[in-house]
């Protein structure tokens, strides 16, 4: 069975490559009709992948071979950060038409990547209706529900009949982002219900919308953070979510494809912060650009490292008397850092998924502290036995073992508490990055280790 599957995949890949070659050949030979036939036969995502592999000269030829609407389909399948260069290299009038043919929310995302002069230029020469729609969305604060919503939805009034609603749907469906949900408004244009396409299709033609609509509406305010909106999509399994103002007027909808982009963006952002980077490094970034993103955290960590070094200097007398203590500094610091990073990852994930809200933050903090105590006790006992066997010094083994146990408990507590405190202060918990929490735990573990060593100096050889 596996062999049959592999043969099928190989045949598909071979056929795909053959088709791709035909498109490339038609473009190289400037055969317009042949190129359009072959190119438009492949999936829009594959069209986008073909497009970004071309030289600037070949892309200019593609612009002349395809309509603005066809180019718009390509642009919405390309990574947001890459689209800027393509719109700048297009003829401005052609680019404006492409923006007009794209969903408004996608146009806004790309325009937000451009400078104000470029945005103003495109909006001036754009179709007036599309420009007005985009201007409305540009006013919303970035990373809010308003900034990612689209105004291309289908709304009906509750007094309409199913037949009237169906006629309206047929008229608006072409330009709508999704038609699986119809949003029901009252005479004041406030959102009062939602109607699925299935319910509309099976309803009697003369039935009023008010009779078949659902009043169990879940909507988000226009200023809600996009990460919280993504959480709602995950909890409710929505395909679309209405966005309203403070008076429940329907302003737009957010669709699941936009939320997938938000989830990817938020995950990349959190990963960057956990790695101690201000923004995600990309393969096409220059060395200078990558260094610029990494330097801020590295400089902060450099000064924290200097503080750690000066802290060790405070225990110089202890080290002079028992020099062997120095060889266990990396061990204790590393164990504390690893334990703290593990707790940090669990805490940030719990906050992001809402698990901490469901189970209770203090309950999970107690669980992490208990976990730290168990792991610390086991690791401490093991290292005590190893040092006793290796160095023949039970007191040294006991010192290192107790230090590791205490450091792991404190580090685990810090890793789980710091993100919760930051969340309470309305600061992104991911700012408590891995390198940051590791350095803090280094300081704590050194204080514990040398504090105990100084206290029980008389028992050490």
* CA–CA gap between residue 84 and residue 52 (Å, rounded): 12
Domains of the chain: 43-139 (1.25.60.10), 155-255 (3.10.580.10), 287-459 (1.10.357.20)
31-41 confidence digits (pLDDT tens): 999 999 989 98
Given this model, what pLDDT does residue 273 score?
56
Quick one: pLDDT band at residue 415, thresholds 50, 70, 90?
confident
Among 150-159, 334-343, 427-436, the least confident range: 427-436
Helices (runs of H) and strands (runs of E) counted in the chain: 23, 6
Give the CA dihedral 383, 385, 390, 396, nearest 10 degrees.
70
> What are the angstrom distances between the C-alpha of 100 and each of 66, 84, 148?
15, 16, 17
Per mean pLDDT, which range of 48-62, 114-128, 156-170, 329-343 is the poorest? 329-343
User: 461 pLDDT band (50/70/90 cuts)?
Assistant: low
Please give the pLDDT value at position 183: 95
**Closest alpha carbon to 418 in 363, 365, 358:** 365
pLDDT tens-digit series, residues 263-304:
877 666 665 555 555 555 555 566 776 677 666 666 776 777
Distance in angstroms (rounded) separating the CA atoms of residues 459 and 461 = 7
Instruction: State the pLDDT at residue 156.
Output: 94
How many C-beta neighbours within 10 Å does residue 294 have?
A: 17
User: Rounded to 5 degrees, what are φ and ψ at 106?
Assistant: -70, -40
- What does the block give as tokens for 262? 């938000």
Query: Parallel, antiparallel, or unpaired: how do β-strands 240-244 and 250-255 relate?
Result: antiparallel
User: Phi and psi at residue 182, in whole multiples of 5°?
Assistant: -115, 135
Lowest-pLDDT range of 13-17, 82-86, 162-166: 13-17
The pLDDT, as a whole number, for residue 260 is 85
**Element containing residue 293 per DSSP (H, E):** helix 287-313
Q: Is the pLDDT of residue 4 over 60?
A: no
Query: Looking at residue 318, what is its pLDDT?
Result: 72
CA-wise closest residue to 184 among 238, 134, 248, 133: 248
pLDDT above 80 (res 352): no
Q: How far apart are CA 324 and CA 59, in angstroms?
A: 67
Query: What is the spatial distance between Cα 297 and Cα 274, in angstroms, rounded to a whole number?
Result: 11
H or E element that contains 20? helix 2-28
**Count of positions (residues) in the chain:** 461
- The Cβ of residue 147 has, within 10 Å, a number of other Cβ atoms equal to 19
Average pLDDT over residues 29-52: 90
Provide φ and ψ at 185, rounded to 5°. -115, 155
Q: In what order do the strands lie in the sheet with 155-157?
A: 155-157, 181-185, 191-196
Average pLDDT over residues 378-403: 88
Cα distance between residue 62 and residue 60, in whole Å? 5
Q: What is the pLDDT of residues 207-264, one digit of tens each?
A: 999 999 999 899 999 999 888 898 888 888 888 999 999 899 999 999 988 888 888 7
Sheet containing 220-221: give its strands across. Answer: 220-221, 240-244, 250-255
pLDDT digits (tens, 9 = 90+) for 104-142: 888 888 888 888 888 888 889 888 888 888 888 888 888
Torsion, CA 406, CA 408, CA 412, CA 414, rounded to 10: 60
Q: Which of 227, 219, 274, 282 is nearest to 249 (CA)?
A: 219
Task: Say if CB 50 and CB 58 are below 8 A apart.
Answer: no
Pure H helices in 53-114: 56-65, 68-75, 80-89, 92-101, 104-111
191 three-class SS: strand
Mean pLDDT of 347-357: 69
If one compares 5 and 342, the residue with the highest pLDDT of the two is 342
Q: Which residue has the tokens 């056929």?
A: 15
In order of 108, 317, 322, 450, the CA distances from 457 in angstroms are 66, 11, 8, 10
pLDDT, the chain, mean: 82
Report d(CA 334, CA 356) in Å as an integer: 28
Q: 162, 203 in Cβ contact below 8 A?
A: yes
The stretch 386-391 carries a mean pLDDT of: 86
Report the SS3 class of residue 458.
Answer: helix
Residue 457, pLDDT above cutoff 60: yes
Q: Using an 8 Å Cβ cutoff, are 406 and 448 in contact?
A: yes
Under 8 Å between Cβ of 111 and 84: no
- Most confident stretch, 1-15, 94-108, 421-435: 94-108
> Contact, 240 vs 195, CB < 8 A?
no
* Per-residue confidence (pLDDT) for residue 346, from 0 to 100: 78
Gap between the Cα atoms of 418 and 427, Å rounded:
11
Q: What is the pLDDT of residue 372?
A: 87
What does the alpha-carbon distance between residue 453 and residue 399 come to, in Å, rounded to a whole number?
A: 7
Q: Report how far residue 410's alpha carbon sits from residue 402's, in angstroms, rounded to the nearest whole number.
A: 12
Identify which has the larger pLDDT, 446 or 202.
202
pTM: 0.61
Q: What is the pLDDT of residue 268?
A: 63
Cβ neighbour number for residue 333 with a 10 Å cutoff: 22
Q: Does 71 have pLDDT greater than 80?
A: yes
Mean pLDDT of 51-79: 92
Distance CA 342, CA 266 (A): 20
pLDDT higher for 434 or 390? 390
* Tens-place pLDDT, residues 176-219: 888 889 999 998 889 999 999 999 999 999 999 999 999 989 99
- Mean pLDDT for the stretch of residues 65-71: 94
Give 72-98 pLDDT, tens digit per residue: 999 989 988 788 889 989 999 999 999
pLDDT at 417: 82
From CA 284, how far away is CA 411, in angstroms rounded?
37
């Amino acid at each position: 069975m596996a062999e049959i599957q592999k043969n099928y995949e190989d045949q598909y890949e071979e056929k795909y490559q053959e088709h791709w070659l035909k498109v490339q050949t038609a473009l190289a030979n400037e055969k317009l009709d042949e190129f359009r036939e072959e190119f438009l036969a492949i999936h829009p995502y594959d069209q986008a992948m073909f497009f970004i592999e071309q030289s600037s000269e070949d892309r200019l030829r593609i612009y002349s071979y395809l309509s603005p609407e066809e180019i718009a389909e390509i642009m919405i399948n390309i990574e947001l950060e890459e689209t800027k260069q393509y719109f700048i290299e297009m003829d401005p009038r052609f680019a404006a038409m492409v923006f007009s043919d794209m969903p408004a929310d996608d146009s806004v995302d790309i325009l937000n990547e451009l400078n104000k002069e470029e945005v103003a230029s495109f909006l001036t020469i754009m179709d007036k209706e599309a420009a007005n729609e985009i201007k409305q969305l540009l006013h919303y604060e970035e990373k809010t529900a308003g900034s990612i919503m689209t105004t291309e939805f289908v709304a009906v009034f509750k007094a309409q009949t199913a037949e009237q609603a169906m006629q309206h749907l047929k008229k608006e469906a072409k330009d709508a982002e999704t038609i699986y949900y119809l949003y029901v408004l009252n005479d004041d244009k406030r959102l009062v219900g939602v109607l699925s396409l299935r319910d509309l299709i099976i309803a009697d033609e003369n039935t009023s919308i008010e009779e078949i609509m659902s009043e169990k509406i879940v909507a988000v305010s226009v200023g809600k953070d996009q990460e919280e909106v993504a959480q709602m999509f995950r909890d409710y399994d929505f395909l679309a979510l209405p966005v309203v103002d403070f008076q429940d007027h329907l302003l737009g909808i957010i669709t699941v494809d936009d939320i997938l982009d938000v989830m990817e963006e938020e995950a990349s952002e959190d990963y960057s912060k956990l790695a101690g980077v201000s923004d995600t490094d990309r393969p096409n970034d220059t060395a200078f650009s990558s260094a610029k993103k990494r330097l801020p955290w590295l400089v902060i960590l450099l000064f924290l490292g200097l503080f750690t070094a000066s802290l060790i200097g405070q225990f110089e007398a202890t080290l002079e008397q028992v020099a062997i203590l120095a060889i266990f500094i990396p061990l204790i610091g590393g164990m504390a850092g690893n334990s703290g990073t593990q707790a940090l990852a669990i805490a940030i994930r719990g906050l992001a998924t809402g698990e901490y809200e469901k189970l209770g933050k203090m309950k999970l903090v107690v669980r992490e502290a208990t976990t730290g105590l168990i792991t610390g006790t086991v690791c401490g006992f093991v290292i005590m036995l190893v040092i006793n066997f290796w160095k023949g010094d039970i007191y040294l083994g006991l010192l290192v073992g107790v230090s590791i146990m205490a450091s792991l408990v404190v580090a685990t507590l810090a890793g789980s508490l710091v993100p919760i405190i930051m969340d309470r202060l309305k600061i992104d918990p991911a700012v408590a990055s891995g390198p940051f929490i590791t350095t803090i735990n280094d300081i704590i573990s050194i204080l514990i280790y040398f504090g105990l060593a100084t206290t029980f100096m008389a028992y050490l050889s």
